Structure 1
Amino acid sequence: MKSAQRGMTLLGFIICLAIAGVFAYIGMKLVPMYTEFFSVKAAMKDLASQPGIVDQDPGKIKDLFFRKLYISYSDDNIKPENITLTRQDGGWKMEVNYEVRKPMIANIDVVGRFNRTEMLARKSVAD
């Protein structure tokens, strides 16, 4: 009695390996973009919880923001012109809007657009 062999052929294994490699390569391009965005979100939340931030001028707020990004090694793609501070309701509305473009393969790029808004306002005693 002859048993049939089961399993993957070498060609099938190479194709699966190539597909996994393509997904890994795309992940290596996308993951740093999103980790930077999560650092931006964390820095903005930290600024919002900082006491006395409402009384600071926009230049000082931007400086504090970039210091927090520098600590987390995430200050590569965000420029001062990507940050907008407007007075609103006795506080500041901070908006960070930026775009990241990474080359993928040949003339194909991956583009990520990120936008985050945070209110920098006085905290009440109940907060």
Structure 2
Amino acid sequence: MTLIGLIFVLAIFGFFVLLILKIGPIYLEHFKVVGSLKSLQETPELARKSRREIRSLLEKRLDINMVENVAPEDIVVRKEDGVVTVEVSYEVEKPVLANLSVVAYFDDRIEAGGAP
């Protein structure tokens, strides 16, 4: 392999390593969001709490897990027929190089309460 070929291969390898270093933290934070939602789903008597209390419980869990990319307006709490639905929809944009960015969209939901 020539020197130019080696440099080209190393540049491509370096780009993918950089991409993984940018995308990895996004998905690690998403796992924290999913874990917070699952923890909220296991909260006893969740269906009896008000929407404000449910939102507060989730926001506290996200704060404890140091989730920075979920804003309060990304959280929707619905209560219908004794079933609580909590949705978290957000996007994360991270710059990679110059004007090249990575964007990830996440839409997670849980349901709790209702008939056992």
TM-score, length-scaled by structure 2: 0.88
| Equivalent position of 1:45 in the other structure | 38
Number of residue pairs aligned between Structure 1 and Structure 2: 116
| Equivalent position of 2:91 in the other structure | 99
| Equivalent position of 1:58 in the other structure | 51
Are 2:103 and 1:111 equivalent residues in the alignment? yes
Question: Which of 53, 65, 80 pairs up with 1:72?
Answer: 65
SS of the residue corresponding to residue 92 of structure 2 reads: strand
What residue ranges of structure 2 are gaps of 5+ in the alignment?
Answer: none
Question: Which of 12, 30, 55 pairs up with 1:19?
Answer: 12
TM-score, length-scaled by structure 1: 0.81
- CA distance in structure 1 between the partners assigned to 2:35 and 2:94 by the alignment: 23
Q: Structure 2 counterpart of 1:119, which letter?
A: E
- CA distance in structure 2 between the partners assigned to 1:66 and 1:24 by the alignment: 33
Q: Structure 2 counterpart of 1:89, which letter?
A: D
Q: Output the aligned Cα RMSD.
A: 1.7
Contact 2:47 2:83 in 1 (8 A): yes
